[in-house]
Chain A
Amino acid sequence: MSGLIVEMAAKALKLNMPLSVQLDLTYRCNERCVHCYLDHDDHGEMTTAEIKELLDQMADAGVFYLTVSGGEIMMRRDFFEILEHARLRTFCIKLKTNGVLIRKKEAQRLRELGVESVQISIYSHRSEVHDAITKLPGSFRQSIEAVRLLRKHGIHVDMANVLMIHNVHDYDGVKALAAELGSQFIIDPTITPMMDGDRSILGLNVDENTLREVFHNEALAGNVEEFCAVPQGPGQEELNSLPCSAGHTACYVSPYGDVYPCVQFPLPCGNVRRTKFVDIWRHSPQLNEVRSIRLRDMLACSQCIHGGTCTRCPGLAFLEGNMRGPSYQDCEKSYARTGIPSENLKRRKASSQHLQLVQIQALASLADNTRFLETSIAK
């Protein structure tokens, strides 16, 4: 991040301004990705007028970065009308799309509307793997064509590669494809639970060895020695630091007008159909609760060697049961990076061993005491 952006973020934090908002226009989608965290039915999306009014309110509240996402944003027939309004209100506009519906005309219009960047998910350099993940035959060809068209019109394209068991060996291929098409390559090794808390898709996450391989790949991580170095543990500054921008300078608005701290943090904070955006931002008790989280307050994380360097996501922690508790997915990333287990991983291991003993002791009362106890102690 450039110094100027860091400076702006610090100022926005001081002024309690929502510098960045992700607005999902719809959860409807023309793809059915195996790892998607959304329910694709329409449960009453905001109308065009409601979204325009919301954009006005967000501009007045100080939102600068507007990420327009979904679902598939172009499933909305009023997509360009909404985008034109966003341009009038001088947002820095970023889009997330699968690109399937982007043709010459759409690419030209996006260029005219001064979109800052477009992120397109490409799961593999092999069409059969990509299409098997999206469950939309031909989607690889269409998404790649969209990347080409957007680049031809001079639009910055981020090619996002979500890593999962289906495409575990393909990230190098996608990276090469991104370079060939003049796009930025982004890798995301985390599959998150569904918005409704359903954790069944977590089984798609790559294993520990793959994570380690990714974090130690110089082409992806840059300076591996530095990136994977053993941390020193949090200092006073880190103990008082904020976990991330969620709720501090950023938030998320769903197609139904619900406001959350982040797209990955499904804690409802209000609805713009009932309350003005700025009032939710300033006065929501839930957002204020999120704002109060500091590393020093977290029992295990504050004592963890990874405390100062971990990418702990409070949203994932919330999905795991407690926004002030551990995010084991992030603990596992820290472990894969450095080879040193986090405090939470150590405690979980100790706790599971303890539980195992209790369980076996209970069984022992029903059968051969000595044998079960010996077995449990050996584990």
Chain B
Amino acid sequence: MKNSRYVARSTAIAARALGDETMVMSATDSTLFTLNEIASVIWAAADGVTPLDQIVANKICTQYDITPELALTDAETLVEDLAAHGILLVSDQPVTGPANARGSTP
């Protein structure tokens, strides 16, 4: 069985909801991203302590017509992508401290 993964928003970002989308800017290199409606749901729920599969099951599969397997695969791709840009942390353990992708604590 696959271990749960935890996701936490980096503190080294600027972010704001804009309608059902979210704009996120990396404070490291000022790259700007916009997250669509579903990605925004995952982003908002990325508190570091709720496992990703639970976020997908409770926040995505209950609201959108998508199978849990496909939703989880898509969510994992999304969080890996955001983690590669340093705006989200992905961990096998709950993330309880400040999630600063650059390694320093504001």
Which residues of B pack against A, CB within 8 Å?
Answer: 11-19, 21, 23, 25, 27-28, 30, 32, 34, 104-106
Q: Quick one: which of A83-129 are within 8 Å of B by CB?
A: 84, 87-88, 90-93, 112-117
- Asked if A116 meets B16 with Cβ closer than 8 Å, knowing A8-B23, A8-B34, the reply is no
Chain B residues with Cβ below 8 Å from A91 are 14
CB of B106 within 8 A of CB of A84, answer yes
CB of A87 within 8 A of CB of B11, answer yes
CB of A64 within 8 A of CB of B16, answer yes
- The total number of A-B Cβ pairs within 8 Å is 56
In the complex, whether A5 has a CB less than 8 A from a CB of chain B is yes
Identify whether the interface residues of B are mostly helix, strand, loop, or mixed. strand
Closest Cβ–Cβ distance, residue B56 to chain A (whole Å): 24
Task: Give the A interface residue count (CB, 8 A).
Answer: 27
Select one of B11, B32, B104, B106 contacting A4, CB under 8 A: B32
Closest Cβ–Cβ distance, residue B86 to chain A (whole Å): 11
Stretch among A10-18, A45-53, A169-177 lining the B interface = A10-18
Closest Cβ–Cβ distance, residue A18 to chain B (whole Å): 11
CB of B15 within 8 A of CB of A90, answer yes
Using A92-B25, A116-B14 as known contacts, list a sample of 4 further A-B pairs with CB atoms less than 8 Å apart, ordered by residue number in A. Answer: A11-B18, A62-B16, A84-B106, A90-B13
In the complex, whether A7 has a CB less than 8 A from a CB of chain B is yes
In the complex, whether A250 has a CB less than 8 A from a CB of chain B is no
CB of B16 within 8 A of CB of A15, answer no
Chain A residues with Cβ below 8 Å from B34 are 4, 7-8
CB of A62 within 8 A of CB of B32, answer no
